[in-house]
Amino acid sequence: MKSRLAFLLTPVVLAATACKKEVQAPQLPPPLVMVSNPLVRDVPFVAEIIAQTEAKANVEVRARVEGTVEKIAFSEGSEVKEGDLLFVLDRQPIEERLAAAKGNLGQVTAALARAKLDVERLTPLVEKQAVPRKDLDNAKSAVDSSESAMETARAQVRSAELDLTYTEIKAPVSGLIGSKQVDVGSLVGKGQATLMATISPLDPIWANADVSEVAYLNAADKFSDPQNSKAVFSLLQANGQVHGHTGKLAFVDRSVNSATGTLKVRVEFPNPEKILRPGQFCRLRVVGRTDAGAILLPQRAVQELQGLHNVFVVDASGKVSFKRVKMGRRIGPLWIVESGLTGTDTVIIEGLQKARDGQPVTPQPTKIDDAPVLELLASVPGAKAETPSNK
């Protein structure tokens, strides 16, 4: 009987013991999360487009007369000034042609003088009917023929003299000269104007870009009148460095390319250091509108699921609540919140996996790094870096 009573009481004792243990179990503290108010500040909308640099002119230096290259007077890849000597061609064949042209001119001059004397001599004789008029007519024809021959001879002399000046090939413009296309001893100008080198003025330099139709429409006021546009552009080089000079709009094409839906624009940049070279890929930036009082959060503070975004905020009592938000454009690791959040909300930045709607947490303040915004402002001309507002 006692054993049966003990058997019946055993579950009761065990249950009581379990209850006692549950009551005595220590309570876990609310999870620790990092919180901060959003970053609030005026953020400019920066349009960024891919571009490629181009020289304002690519002047080809070509041989204008036939001859053999005797001297190359420049260093490849160097800066040359307008009028600098670049090539010297063999002068002897042209000097011989000039001498022959001058000799021919002398002969024609003598023939003209003789023909004029004949006219002077025959004129009174014809009046006296001492000689036939035909002889006088022939003498006058000889004068006309000699005068025409003299013009031809003079033209030949001028042509030879001009060709002689072409044996010294000089820089037509100032700029950076490329590699030579001929060597000493090469025959140039044989039936065609041989390309010898190319010179490109690099200051200023152009940056050409194809702007999407949407981007153009969003900033049409800046592109409508290139000559009077106040838009200021900055240029980011391939290594991420900002070019030291701002650019201005130089050209906007007349029509949108129907195949690509883009509009060609050209921006002109000073380039006194000759850092930019033709053919370089770069990015152009220009300030559009400014989002006043924009609210920014680190991307890691935003949860995204099936195209919807939400954040967790903490109230004064430490309780978590869920908020649906609408996100806008990104600035590096930061994300602009378009709606659903205020600048005074306390947002969980780290530890989202520990947060549950309606549950308490232990908030620990942290600071949002505003370096991406400052870097953006530093790379855009005309933008001011103001102190961010972390309320």
- The helix (H) or strand (E) run that includes residue 175 is strand 175-177
More confident residue, 357 or 125: 357
The yes-or-no verdict on residue 2 having pLDDT over 70 is: no
Query: What is the pLDDT averaged over residues 10-18?
Result: 52
| 126 confidence band (pLDDT: 50, 70, 90) | low
Helix (H, G, I), strand (E, B) or coil at 290: strand
The yes-or-no verdict on residue 140 having pLDDT over 80 is: no
Query: What is the pLDDT averaged over residues 214-222?
Result: 74
**For the purposes of burial, counting CB atoms within 10 Å of the CB of 269, is it exposed (0-12), middle (13-18) or buried (19 or more)?**
buried
Q: How far apart are alpha carbons 142 and 134 in whole angstroms?
A: 12
The yes-or-no verdict on residue 248 having pLDDT over 80 is: yes
pLDDT digit string, tens, across residues 156-195? 889 888 989 888 999 999 999 999 999 998 898 888 888 9
Pick the CATH number of 49-57+201-288 from 3.40.50.920, 3.30.160.40, 2.40.30.170, 3.30.2130.10: 2.40.30.170
**For the purposes of burial, counting CB atoms within 10 Å of the CB of 76, is it exposed (0-12), middle (13-18) or buried (19 or more)?**
exposed
| 281 confidence band (pLDDT: 50, 70, 90) | very high
Predicted confidence at residue 170, as pLDDT, reads 92
Predicted confidence at residue 24, as pLDDT, reads 55
Q: Quick check: 167 and 81 in contact, CB under 8 A?
A: no
Residue whose tokens read 């490629």:
52
The yes-or-no verdict on residue 304 having pLDDT over 70 is: yes
The yes-or-no verdict on residue 236 having pLDDT over 50 is: yes
The yes-or-no verdict on residue 388 having pLDDT over 50 is: no
Query: What is the pLDDT averaged over residues 199-208?
Result: 92
Residue 272, CA distances (Å) to 79, 123, 266, 277, 286 in order: 12, 74, 19, 12, 22
What b-and-e string marks burial along 124-134, b requiring 16 or more CB atoms within 10 Å of the CB?
A: eebeeeeeeee
Write the class of the CATH domain 58-90+176-200. Answer: mainly beta
More confident residue, 78 or 10: 78
In sequence order, what DSSP letters do the residues of 243-289 get, joined into one string? PSS-EEEEEE-SS-BTTTTEEEEEEEE--TT----TT-EEEEEEEEE
Q: How far apart are alpha carbons 231 and 289 in whole angstroms?
A: 12
Parse the chain into domains and list their residue ranges. Answer: 32-43+290-378, 49-57+201-288, 58-90+176-200, 91-166
Q: Quick check: 176 and 274 in contact, CB under 8 A?
A: yes
Write the class of the CATH domain 91-166. Answer: mainly alpha
Residues contacting residue 113 through CB under 8 Å, at least 6 positions apart: none
Query: What is the pLDDT averaged over residues 297-320?
Result: 90
Predicted confidence at residue 146, as pLDDT, reads 78
pLDDT digit string, tens, across residues 16-61? 555 555 555 567 788 898 999 999 888 877 778 899 999 998 999 9
Q: Same CATH topology for 32-43+290-378 and 58-90+176-200? A: no
Dihedral angle computed from the Cα positions of residues 8, 13, 14 and 15, in that order, rounded to the nearest 10 degrees: 100
Second CATH level (architecture) for the domain 32-43+290-378: Beta Barrel (2.40)
Both tokens assigned to 198: 């190319």
